[in-house]
Structures are given as C-alpha cells and as structure tokens.
Amino acid sequence: ARSNTVAQAAGKLYFGSATDNPFLNEDATYKAILSDNTLFGQLSPENAMKWDATEPEQGVFTFTNGDAIVALAQANGQIMRGHNTVWGSQLPSWVSDSGFDNATLISVMQNHVSTVIGHYKGQIDGWDVVNEPFNDDGTLASNVFFETIGPTYIDLALQAARAADPNAKLYINDFNIEGEGAKATAMVNLVSDLKSRGIPIDGIGLESHFILGEIPTTLQAQMEAFTALGVEVAVTELDIRMTLPETDALLAQQQTDYQTVVSACTAVADCVGVTVWEYTDKYSWVPSTFAGQGDADPWDENLEMKPAYDGIIAGF
Ligand code: XIL
C-alpha cells in the first residue's frame, strides 16, 4: 500500500514530507521517491521559506529555493504547506540584533509576512505564520518580536497573512503541545482568545518531534481539544528518534509509535494530514541536533522503507 493513497482513502488531505533544496539538487533517487504522489501528497520546505532564506538583507527577497520546491510540488500534483514567516530562530542578524523600535519592527514584520505570503498567493494550502511562540511552561517565548512588540505581534502577523493570501489556512505551529500540559493549555487559551477577538486563525500545527516509546497518551484527546475551538490541526513535522544504535526491537517499537500517531490523526475528523520532517534518515536533522540519536524517519539511509512505513499504512 502507498502512504498518500491510504491517507486520502481515510479522508485526509495528504501524507507528506519536508524537503530541502540541497538534497533535491544532489540526489536523483531521493527526488524520484519524493515525487511519487502515491507516497507523498504534500511537501513542506524544511528551510527554503524561513526568514534567513527569504529576506537575508532588509527589503531584499530571495525566493529561488522556495520557488523550486513549489514548482516540484505542482509538477507532481502535491499540496504545499508554507513554513514559516515569524519565528525567533533562523532570523538574519539585521532583524534579531537590530534594536528596531516597536513601530519599526512592526512594519518590518508586516512587510516580511505580506511579501513572502503574497509571493506564494494561491499556491499554499496552509502557512505556519507564527512558529514556536511558547515556552514549555506556557509563557510566550522571548524572541525579538515578543520583546519589542509584545504579545500583539501574533495578532499582527496573522492579520498581515490573511490580507496577503485570503485563501491560505493560517496556522500557529509548535512542539511539546501534542499531549496535555501547560504548553498545550496555553495554545488552547491563545487560539480561543484570538477567535474571540476576531483575529484570523485556522489551524494548529503539532510538530511531533517524538522520542521512541514516548508518544503522549493524550495525543488524540489534545487534537480534539484543539479542533473543538473551531480550527483544524495537522501533524506538521513528525519524526520519532531513537538512541543509536538501531536494533530490530527499536525498529518494531518505532513502527508501533508511527501507527499510534497516524491513528490519532485518522480518528480526528479535523486533523487534515501528517507530514514527516524528511522521509529518510539519510537527510534527517535529528543526528546533528540530538547527540547520539537518530534513525527517526520511515525510510532508511539507503532510501528503503523501514517497519515504521508499515506503521503509517496501518494507522490510516
Ligand atoms: C530545522 C531543519 O530541519 C534544519 O535543517 C535546520 O537546520 C533547523 O531547523 N522546528 C521547526 C523546524 O519548526 O523549522 C525545524 O527545522 C525543526 C524544529
């Protein structure tokens, strides 16, 4: 069975993957698998649409890499998600160390959101407009936008996004919100407050960078708590990392864990799809970020399907 085919048969919009330009340019086999829309119905740009990539100097926009991924998705008949416009990381220093005053940073941020989302108008299904706004304790994370503008930076970013592409679904995306806890509650409170004040918000992205054997038992309940607010949810960056070296027992647990996550999305009507944060261990961000861990994806370093793939199929 084919992962996107079964996702759509289960009523989902897609099963998808993140991808990045260096891999697409250098690895034809990788690109051919990614381009098979029976496997992947959706692409996310792993880095190409982030602020440091799209506006490296103030007012100088570069869309070459993002455009290449959009063109690939369109050629393959795949949906695109946009990722992301306002985040405290991967910011050029002209933004993060600017010392811009409140009014100037508001205008810089609005211009960035309008220009990037406007460039892709009509071509993106859902945008991670605001990425990772929370600390684990549920307070708003300290980044240049929060420190300079205050919590209304979120309102202003979402309003600029809606104006730039009225048909794109506008998301807030974060990690450690996939199960009940202070951070998930803070997301519920934020989205409910945004909706009560008429600020546009359509979706909550559950990143889902999980540790093997530690899928939150409240994942489905948390998805339901989010969709009860009147927004959709998506699993936006799924990977399930293990402490290396890999063993057959770990691969079997990983299969179970992938099935658990996908099943939760299948069970929740307004969970629209599942995206893995790279489909293959060959190009995963995990080993360089979490020392001693890896093999988090459903295809191995040789671009062969792992037991985790069967877990995905069983979950839809
Ligand atoms: C990661 C990319 O995978 C890496 O290539 C990059 O060096 C750092 O960012 N949460 C997010 C993603 O929202 O943008 C991050 O992607 C992973 C964590």
Residue ranges of domains in the chain: 3-315
pLDDT at res. 116? 99
Ligand 1 pocket test target in 86, 241, 279, 285 with most atoms within 8 Å of CB:
285
Contact 209, 237 (CB under 8 A): yes
3-state secondary structure of 102: helix
Distance CA 84, CA 63 (A): 13
For ligand 1, whether the C-beta of 185 sits within 6 Å is: no
Ligand 1 atom with the shortest distance to the CA of 131? 13
Tell the residue number behind the tokens 């992938």, with chain if given: 258
232 alpha carbon – ligand 1 mean position (Å): 22
The single-letter DSSP state of residue 159 is H
Query: Which residue CA neighbors atom 14 of ligand 1 most closely?
Result: 46
Strand residues in the chain grouped as ranges (E)? 14-19, 42-45, 79-86, 126-131, 169-174, 203-206, 209-211, 232-243, 271-276, 293-294
Ligand 1 atom with the shortest distance to the CA of 209? 18
24 alpha carbon – ligand 1 mean position (Å): 17
Contact 151, 172 (CB under 8 A): no
Contact 92, 138 (CB under 8 A): no
Tell the residue number behind the tokens 């309003």, with chain if given: 159
182 alpha carbon – ligand 1 mean position (Å): 23
For ligand 1, whether the C-beta of 178 sits within 6 Å is: no
Active-site annotation, residues: 237
Q: What does each of the 316 residues of the chain score in pLDDT, given as a tens digit? A: 999 999 999 999 999 999 999 999 999 999 999 999 999 999 999 999 999 999 999 999 999 999 999 999 999 999 999 999 999 999 999 999 989 999 999 999 999 999 999 999 999 999 999 999 999 999 999 999 999 999 999 999 999 999 999 999 999 999 999 999 999 999 999 999 999 999 999 999 999 999 999 999 999 999 999 999 999 999 999 999 999 999 999 999 999 999 999 999 999 999 999 999 999 999 999 999 999 999 999 999 999 999 999 999 999 9
For ligand 1, whether the C-beta of 128 sits within 6 Å is: no
Query: Which residue CA neighbors atom 4 of ligand 1 most closely?
Result: 285
46 alpha carbon – ligand 1 mean position (Å): 6
Distance CA 203, CA 201 (A): 6
Q: Judging by beta carbons within 10 Å of its beta carbon (0-12, 13-18, 19+), is residue 63 exposed, middle or buried?
A: middle
CATH number for 3-315 (one of 3.40.50.10800, 3.40.50.970, 3.20.20.80, 3.30.70.20): it is: 3.20.20.80
197 alpha carbon – ligand 1 mean position (Å): 31
ipTM: 0.99
For ligand 1, whether the C-beta of 207 sits within 6 Å is: yes
Distance CA 142, CA 282 (A): 33
3-state secondary structure of 44: strand
pLDDT at res. 98? 85
The single-letter DSSP state of residue 305 is B
